[in-house]
Chains A and B, each alone.
Chain A
Amino acid sequence: MRYITPRKAAMGLGSAHSGTADHWFLTVTSCALVLLVPAFMLVIANAIGLPHPELVAYFGRPYPALITALFIVVGMAHFIRGTRIMIDDYFQHTARKVAIIVSVVFSWAVIAAAIFALAKMTLVTVAI
């Protein structure tokens, strides 16, 4: 008789070897995005059409800045896992590795650019 629980026997099996971590991450971020999507769309709808100084001041305010930052960080983290599923389905070998690297690097570049822009607009607004 083996002294091992069914859970222990099942752990690490499956093609990903890491259980349901990616699925759970997509579930948690999707719940956050259900709230962030309408909020972000409202923020952007209010921003489009503003003259340059007003636009900078608008994104320097806490609510538009935080909603935009949260949407882009959570959204791109969700995007990395989502593209990973598509890449695993359609690409093999080296092409798969390259596609995963491109997806992750691209997503973090988008996050960095957005945070930089928001931080600078906030600082400019405070300086005024």
Chain B
Amino acid sequence: MADVNRGNRPLSPHMQVYRLPMAAVTSIMTRITGHALVAGILLLVWWLVAAVSGPRAFAAADWVVRSWIGFIVLTGSAWALWFHTLAGIRHLFYDAGQLLRIEEAERASWAIIIGSVVLTLLSLILFFFA
């Protein structure tokens, strides 16, 4: 058998053991939140169309919007929308050549995660108490 050096060869990152950098995690989350927003927009457009379709159609849609299902979908959509918006603003910075150093991208990732949660909580507080 050939004398193969098995000890110190460089390895490519294997997806099952490779810890994704925060910039990669938030990048994937941007795509997921953008597509998941389809649920919120469908619920709201159904609600708007039901409002001009008649009292029974509106009663059904309005019940869903105001139920706990509607609360979960709309709160989730509010978070997804804030997350996607903050991540989109970061893309505008990326395009301008900003925030591209690793530490900056890492910090911006945490700013997006924390910012989206804070803005969602603020939205909920404004909705229920203002």
Give the contacting residue for A34; candidates B65, B88, B95; CB below 8 A: B88
* Residues in chain A near residue B42, CB distance under 8 A: 110
Binary flags per residue of A85-128, CB closer than 8 Å to B gives 1, else 0 = 01000000000000000000000001001101110110010000
A120 x B127 contact (CB < 8 A): no
Could you say which of B8-16, B18-26, B49-57, B105-113 contacts chain A?
A: B49-57
A82 x B81 contact (CB < 8 A): no
Binary flags per residue of B64-82, CB closer than 8 Å to A gives 1, else 0 = 0110000000100010011
* Residues in chain B near residue A83, CB distance under 8 A: 35
Give the contacting residue for A86; candidates B31, B65, B66, B81; CB below 8 A: B31
CB of A74 within 8 A of chain B? no
The complex places the Cα of A45 from the Cα of B66 at a distance, in Å, of: 12
The complex places the Cα of A33 from the Cα of B58 at a distance, in Å, of: 28
A110 x B58 contact (CB < 8 A): no
Closest to B87 in A: A30
Q: How many residues of B contact A (CB 8 A)?
A: 32
Interface majority SS on A: helix, strand, loop or mixed? helix
* Residues in chain A near residue B82, CB distance under 8 A: 37
A45 x B126 contact (CB < 8 A): yes
Q: How many residues of A contact B (CB 8 A)?
A: 32
Closest to A51 in B: B62
Residues in A9-61 with C-beta less than 8 Å from chain B: 27, 30-31, 33-34, 37, 41, 44-45, 48-49, 52, 55-56, 59
Residues in B38-60 with C-beta less than 8 Å from chain A: 38, 41-42, 44-45, 48-49, 51-52, 55, 58-59
A118 x B45 contact (CB < 8 A): no
12 CB contacts below 8 A, A to B, read A30-B89, A30-B92, A41-B81, A44-B44, A48-B66, A59-B48, A72-B45, A79-B38, A117-B51, A118-B48, A121-B52, A124-B52
Nearest 3 pairs of A and B residues by beta carbon: A117-B48, A120-B52, A30-B88
